[in-house]
Amino acid sequence: MTEAICWFNGEMMPASAARVSVLDHGLLYGDGVFEGIRFYNGRALRLSRHIDRLFRSAAAIRLAAPYDAGALDMAVHDTISAYGQDRGYLRLVVTRGVGKLGLDPSACQRPNVFIIADQLAMMSETVRHAGARTIIAATRRLGADGLDPRIKSLNYLNHILARMEAGNAGADEAILLNAVGHVAEGTADNIFIVRHGKLLTPPCCDGALEGITREIIFELAQELGIDCTETTLGPYDLYTADECFLTGTGAELVPVREVDGRPLGSCPGRIFFMLQTAFQKLIERETMARRLSALRK
């Protein structure tokens, strides 16, 4: 197995050798932002969209990254090259940096930035083929009035607690509701359902992350002539869906076969297969084109 690699503040090293101070506010208080990025054929998928979102998250918490978009783009490419595998997963993290004990971040002198390249399999191939068993978690998604869901912060504790609920129930994933009982998202993925041939997904105002893969599904649905709408959903909508699936950079596309013990009408369903096929073609089209372009330079 290839060893995980880490680009840490401009230096490349084995991930096992990278060190963050115990006084870093990212560790102490979850004060920082991150992006999860997939790469295929040695090229990061939708890298500019990920970096844009990272800077938006950082701006929202008044965190000034010490590298610009161009430098991070180059760092990502260098990390993939050093890792030496065609496919894998990247975690790009910006922490507030070392400061004094206490919540006040004003003493933090310089943010830390690191990129980890490794493999990530959120669900087994068996689950990907047969579909995920899900539960609706008792743990709720933090509301936008507390922490805007568009910010990918380092604080994922409520998602971790929901994922623990799924594990305790023998399920593969948990679905979080918001404070008023509307469907928000999975612990690390967006959620879509199909009803009467139409694709439905929760809006960001209900607690859904502005997922990059979610965005790709909107594009592919339009290309395939599938009606795709953001709309508020409740547990009833999940229980009675014709199809349901999860999307995310880590998860990619995963069909859902069961919600709270209720089997769904079709898994994997026709719409899922259409989108899954189109998604794989998009990956090859976008990453191979970038690789060929780089080779010609």
Q: Considering 100, 152, 281, 297, which one is annotated as catalytic?
A: 152
- Angle, helices 47-60 vs 69-83, to 10°: value is 130
Does residue 105 have a cis bond before it (omega within 30 degrees)? no
Is 152 considered catalytic here?
A: yes
What gap in Å lies between CA 270 and CA 198, rounded to an integer? 12
Half-sphere exposure (CA, 13 Å, Cβ side) for 288? 6
Among left, alpha and beta (phi > 0; psi -120 to 50; other), residue 275 is alpha
Beta strands (DSSP E) in the chain are 5-8, 11-14, 32-40, 43-44, 88-95, 112-118, 132-136, 173-177, 183-186, 190-195, 198-201, 228-230, 243-248, 252-259, 262-263
Q: Which residue has the tokens 């993290």?
A: 93
Cα dist from 170 to 124, 132, 164, 257, whole Å: 14, 11, 10, 14
- In 3D, which of 154, 152, 147, 150 has the Cα closest to residue 20? 154
What gap in Å lies between CA 174 and CA 291, rounded to an integer? 36
Q: Which residues are catalytic?
A: 152
